[in-house]
Amino acid sequence: MNDHSPVPAGWYRDPLGLPQLRWWNGLSWTNRIEEHRPEIQLATPEPIDSRLVGAR
């Protein structure tokens, strides 16, 4: 029985440490590369203090 689960095909960080993504075909690395675009962190608004809502 194999204890290792196969890694699904997809874009992963380049195993050579380059700032790009490389396509893993499920069996081996390919020559297909894409520019690595870090995820954008969106700012989340602060919760409104309920004591201030409607206060005058």
**Is residue 20 within a helix (H) or strand (E), and if so which, with residue range?**
strand 20-24
pLDDT in tens, the chain (56 residues): 455 668 999 999 999 999 999 999 999 999 999 987 776 666 666 666 656 666 55
Strand order through the sheet with 10-13 = 10-13, 20-24, 29-35
Question: What pLDDT, on the 0 to 100 scale, is given for residue 50?
Answer: 59
Question: What pLDDT, on the 0 to 100 scale, is given for residue 37?
Answer: 73
Whether 21 and 12 have beta carbons less than 8 Å apart is answered as yes
Two tokens, residue 17: 């440490």
Question: What pLDDT, on the 0 to 100 scale, is given for residue 36?
Answer: 77
Count of CB atoms within 10 A of residue 24's CB?
Answer: 17
Question: What pLDDT, on the 0 to 100 scale, is given for residue 1?
Answer: 47
Name the residue ranges covered by the structural domains of the chain.
Answer: 1-37
From CA 10, how far away is CA 53, in angstroms rounded?
Answer: 48
